């Protein structure tokens, strides 16, 4: 069956090829002929569907309409705007299928469900573009060598409300279950700024102006960040699966000036930054040299021989992710600089040894 995206793309192709405005009837006739050539029942293609498709494309600024001077009740259609195709090639469809799989593995199942039409179309293109009959689900995969945790369960409606608030420049009122708060919820008046899809969870980067605890608030010296807000008038990162309710905001809240989700200020809570990018030196075994020579720790890293080992020099942030990588490869990496990072790894390894000595 002809897919909606494929059909609408061909409508654009019809108008571009015409070189002049076409009446709705002419566009529909050309589309019916095309549908018939692709093996579908041409009679199933109704003129109301064609009109609906054309109006949808007009809203996206792909086509435009004008009154037909010879028929004041009719419309003439022409192609405008961007010229790229909505149709996928078989190889592009394979890449997109991998993107869908990767998204699902890392917590975006509900988002890919919302794109079912595009996913079905992707599958159709792969099948039609393959010379042999192939179960391509057994040929394309996505993953990581690290143990993958199951995604946190969030409500798809909450994600959609947050996405639309970001697009519409709106504030929100968000009910949230902070970790280590004995089950007490907190209501935030906040401005949603960005979304980070990382590991198995989705995080909301937001600016909170007010918070109302529905019970006893934690002590002022309790640790904050990632699992709750950092207090009023601060940036924070909130886990989507800990959000229990989303409503329109009761305040007008501006974005922080120059906000960038990639900047240290936003990333501090999203990925736990212990220090900004700084000079980092590591001594590597041959095994880790082989890996990092092909998959660099940083695009500007330098590798130099050091006896039977290698010295890696780069400038990177000291993050939770970096520390986990160093711990996971502790037998093959020695941290030389910065000294604070070296001390941390030494402390963690000492604690680990004590655990296994018991």
Do 262 and 205 have their domain in common? yes
**Residue with the larger pLDDT of the pair 102 and 39:** 102
Q: Is the pLDDT of residue 347 over 80?
A: yes
Q: Count other Cβ atoms within 10 Å, centred on residue 273.
A: 19
Using an 8 Å Cβ cutoff, are 233 and 209 in contact? yes
**Over residues 86-115, mean pLDDT:** 77
Residue 334: the pLDDT is 97
Determine, yes or no, domain membership for 125. Answer: yes
Domain boundary at 269, 287, 312, which? 269
Residue 187: the pLDDT is 96
Q: At 45, is the pLDDT very low, low, confident or very high (cuts 50, 70, 90)? A: low
**Residue with the larger pLDDT of the pair 203 and 45:** 203
The pairs formed by 239-242 with CB atoms below 8 angstroms and a separation of 24 or more are 239/152, 239/201, 239/202, 239/203, 239/204, 240/152, 240/154, 240/158, 240/159, 240/162, 240/201, 240/202, 240/203, 240/204, 241/152, 241/153, 241/154, 241/201, 241/202, 242/152, 242/176, 242/177, 242/178, 242/179
| % of residues, the chain, pLDDT over 90 | 52
Could you report the per-residue pLDDT of 102-119, keeping only the tens digit for each?
887 777 776 667 777 777
Do 116 and 62 have their domain in common? no
Do 263 and 161 have their domain in common? yes
**Over residues 144-171, mean pLDDT:** 88
Using an 8 Å Cβ cutoff, are 159 and 202 in contact? yes
Residue 19: the pLDDT is 80
Could you report the per-residue pLDDT of 303-314, keeping only the tens digit for each?
999 999 999 999
Domain boundary at 210, 240, 269, which? 269
Using an 8 Å Cβ cutoff, are 158 and 116 in contact? no
Residue 39: the pLDDT is 54
Query: What is the chain's mean pLDDT, rounded?
Result: 86
Residue 2: the pLDDT is 60
Strands (E) in 49-116, as ranges, are 63-68, 71-79
C-alpha to C-alpha distance for 233 and 212, rounded to whole angstroms: 13
Determine, yes or no, domain membership for 85. Answer: no
Give the chain's largest Cα–Cα span. Answer: 92
Do 162 and 240 have their domain in common? yes
Q: Is the pLDDT of residue 358 over 80?
A: no
Q: Is the pLDDT of residue 96 over 90?
A: no
The residue range of the domain holding 297 is 272-357
Using an 8 Å Cβ cutoff, are 187 and 175 in contact? yes
How many structural domains comprise the chain? 4
CA distances from 100 to 143, 196, 221, 321 (A): 12, 17, 42, 24
Determine, yes or no, domain membership for 146. Answer: no
Q: Is the pLDDT of residue 203 over 80?
A: yes
| % of residues, the chain, pLDDT over 70 | 92
**Prior bond to 338 cis, omega within 30?**
yes
Q: At 209, is the pLDDT very low, low, confident or very high (cuts 50, 70, 90)? A: very high
Do 265 and 200 have their domain in common? yes
Could you report the per-residue pLDDT of 219-274, keeping only the tens digit for each?
777 766 556 888 899 999 999 999 999 999 999 999 999 999 999 999 988 888 99
Residue 251: the pLDDT is 94
CA distance from start to end of the chain? 65
């Amino acid at each position: 069956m002809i897919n909606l995206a494929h059909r609408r793309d061909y409508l654009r192709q019809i108008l571009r090829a015409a070189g002049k405005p076409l009446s709705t009837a002419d566009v529909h006739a050309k589309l019916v002929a095309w549908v018939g050539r692709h093996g579908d029942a041409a009679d199933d293609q109704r003129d109301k569907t064609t009109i609906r498709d054309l109006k949808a494309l007009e809203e996206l600024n792909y086509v435009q309409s004008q009154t037909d001077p010879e028929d004041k009740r009719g419309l003439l259609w022409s192609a405008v705007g961007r010229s790229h195709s909505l149709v996928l090639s078989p190889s592009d469809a394979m890449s997109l299928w991998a993107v869908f799989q990767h998204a699902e593995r890392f917590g975006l199942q509900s988002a890919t469900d919302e794109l079912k039409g595009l996913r079905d179309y992707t599958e159709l293109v792969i099948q039609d573009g393959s010379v042999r009959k192939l179960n391509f689900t057994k040929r394309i995969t996505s993953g990581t060598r690290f143990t993958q945790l199951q995604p946190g369960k969030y409500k798809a409606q909450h994600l959609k409300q947050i996405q639309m608030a970001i697009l519409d420049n709106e504030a929100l009122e968000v009910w949230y279950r902070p970790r280590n708060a004995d089950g007490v919820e907190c209501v935030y008046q906040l401005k949603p700024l960005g979304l980070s899809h990382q590991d198995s969870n989705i995080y909301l980067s937001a600016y909170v102006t007010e918070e109302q605890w529905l019970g006893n608030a934690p002590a002022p010296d309790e640790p904050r960040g990632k699992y709750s807000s950092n207090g009023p008038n601060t940036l924070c990162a909130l886990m989507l699966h800990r959000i229990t309710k989303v409503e329109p905001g009761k305040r007008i809240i501006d974005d922080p000036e120059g906000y960038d989700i990639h900047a240290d200020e936003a990333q501090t809570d999203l990925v736990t930054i212990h220090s900004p990018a700084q000079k980092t030196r590591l001594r590597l075994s041959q095994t880790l040299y082989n890996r990092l020579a092909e998959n660099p720790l940083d695009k500007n890293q330098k590798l130099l021989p050091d006896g039977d080992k290698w010295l890696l020099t780069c400038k990177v942030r000291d993050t939770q992710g970096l520390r986990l990588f160093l711990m996971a490869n502790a037998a093959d990496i020695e941290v030389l600089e910065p000294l604070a990072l070296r001390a941390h790894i030494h402390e963690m390894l000492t604690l680990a040894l004590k655990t296994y000595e018991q």
